[in-house]
Structure 1
Amino acid sequence: MTLAPFEGADALVRRNNISSQGPEGAPAIVFGHGYGSSRQMWRLVAPQFVDDHRVVLFDHVGSGGSDRRAYDRGKYDSLHGYADDLLEICHALGLSEIVYVGHSVGAMIGCLAAIAEPTLFDSLVLVGGSARYINDEGYVGGFEADDVDALLDSLDANYLAWASTMAPVFMGNSDRPELTAELLDSFSKADQAVARQFARVTFLSDLRSDLSSVSTPTLVVQSTNDIVAPVVAGEFLRDSIPGSRLEVLEAEGHYVHVSDPEKLTTTIRSFLG
């Protein structure tokens, strides 16, 4: 559904907890978060672009400060439901020539949105993205199918225990426990029913066949030590998205925008020129 500029914007602001800062008429840069987090995770990167961009932050429905009454299990049983939301947000705010920066599954949601409406996006920055998390014949995603099944079973059995176990694994940087504490706090605030479904949609997703349809100039950013999305996952994205390029940052963990925001900011700035 395509909305005229600002038509329905108030409802979308409530639904997706949208914030917008920066000069009117400046190029738009939209930040999309990943699983188990919220727009708050961009707090160290997004402000670096406010002086010369219209910076838009939002929460996926069911995450952060979004209106959880808007969560529809049928709609969000696929990443396409989240991509549709992203497009609605962009149209309702009257955005165009958008720089979209997405983390983890948020990166892949951005790819789907750019495939659906390529003229809306000027560039994509995919941070810690993965087309498929599960290894397959001739493909390395980082997890065996049994590992993902065990992860999802553990999450279903006791979400808070799962969060306590996985937060330090996903964040890495064991010498900086405050980072793990922040991620665990984010996990713990999630709606558990939504978190369980979103986990299945995320970890069982497979967008490998979609990537050749991405025509937007794309930067893939991967960390050297990321258990969730290893460098090989970024190499697959680069090789599958026409004309894209890969930047590997010397960084640990899946949340480089939290652990190494300066590195990521510099990398995005360099890509945007």
Structure 2
Amino acid sequence: MFAHGFGCDQAMWRFVAPRFENAFKVVTCDHVGSGGSDVRAYDPQKYASIDGYADDLVEIGSELGIHDGILVGHSVSAMICALASIRAPEMFRTLVMVCPSPRYIDDENYVGGFSAEDVDDLLASLAENPMAWSASVAPAIMGNASRPELGEELTESFCRLDPQIANDFARATFTSDNRADLLKVTARTLILQCRDDIIAPECVGQYVRDHVADSELVLLSATGHCPNLSAPDEVVAAIREFA
């Protein structure tokens, strides 16, 4: 099962997920409020934290009868998937975290990549002008300046998200702290880290590796935060070797 990150939808896995269909039953989904999901199902209280999205993944897995499944999450969904695997360890026995971060804000003896002021400014900018925020932030997140079409795709994806849902999801994402949850993960875990990722620097990937018991960290040659779009061959190869 593949889960997308903030401001994205299941189409972000279109270069990766189909390449596993010959050996696995493959499931992609949109988080409530994103992509083709039913926006009427969006509950601001439920999705005020990423726990609500984790509950949804368990519900989907239960509906589909998944057992010993592989759960692949990108960006914030790496931690959403970690929470889902903790809730349903027999359902999801293998976990792939693509560019994960258990906490984005720096803390004592922890580097997340952002100060509390950075996150406050980011959220205020998003609330004030979502379109301008998307146009400026998305290309930097994508991190492939020589391939501007990738940044443009991410910008368009951000812009499709309902502004209030975008604000809620961004707040739930960037103010989350799931460091303690890493110690509860029992799934066999692959961590895929990119170079020059402004959202999840290399030290964060190392932190996740050090705090998830049965985990392996692979540093990809890919740059930026979205290797599922910018370097799908690398992502597929790493998952195949691990799975």
TM-score normalised to the size of structure 2? 0.99
SS of the residue 2:183 aligns to: helix
Counterpart of 1:15 in structure 2 is: none
Query: Unaligned regions of 5+ residues in structure 2, if any?
Result: none
Counterpart of 2:82 in structure 1 is: 111
| Equivalent pair of 2:72/2:95 in contact (CA under 8 Å) | yes
Rounded to whole Å, the distance in 2 between the matches of 1:99 and 1:117 is: 12
Q: Does 1:266 align with 2:237?
A: yes
SS of the residue 2:190 aligns to: strand
Higher Cα Rg, which structure? 1
The letter for the 1-side match of 2:164 is A
Q: Does 1:159 align with 2:130?
A: yes
SS of the residue 1:267 aligns to: helix
Identity across the alignment (%): 51
Counterpart of 2:51 in structure 1 is: 80
Rounded to whole Å, the distance in 2 between the matches of 1:222 and 1:185 is: 24
Rounded to whole Å, the distance in 1 between the matches of 2:81 and 2:152 is: 28
TM-fit CA distance, 1:225? 1.3
SS of the residue 1:34 aligns to: coil
Alpha-carbon RMSD across the aligned residues, in angstroms, is 0.6
SS of the residue 1:54 aligns to: coil
Counterpart of 1:233 in structure 2 is: 204
Rounded to whole Å, the distance in 2 between the matches of 1:266 and 1:94 is: 27
TM-score normalised to the size of structure 1? 0.88
Counterpart of 2:180 in structure 1 is: 209
SS of the residue 1:55 aligns to: coil
> Among 105, 108, 111, which residue is 1:140 paired with?
111
4+ residue stretches of structure 1 with deviation over 6 A?
none
TM-fit CA distance, 1:99? 0.4
Query: Unaligned regions of 5+ residues in structure 1, if any?
Result: 1-29
Rounded to whole Å, the distance in 1 between the matches of 2:22 and 2:89 is: 26
The alignment of Structure 1 onto Structure 2 pairs a total of residues equal to 243
Q: Does 1:249 align with 2:220?
A: yes
Counterpart of 2:92 in structure 1 is: 121
Rounded to whole Å, the distance in 1 between the matches of 2:219 and 2:115 is: 24
> Among 163, 174, 178, which residue is 2:145 paired with?
174
TM-fit CA distance, 1:111? 0.5
Rounded to whole Å, the distance in 2 between the matches of 1:214 and 1:172 is: 30
Rounded to whole Å, the distance in 2 between the matches of 1:181 and 1:155 is: 17
SS of the residue 1:251 aligns to: strand
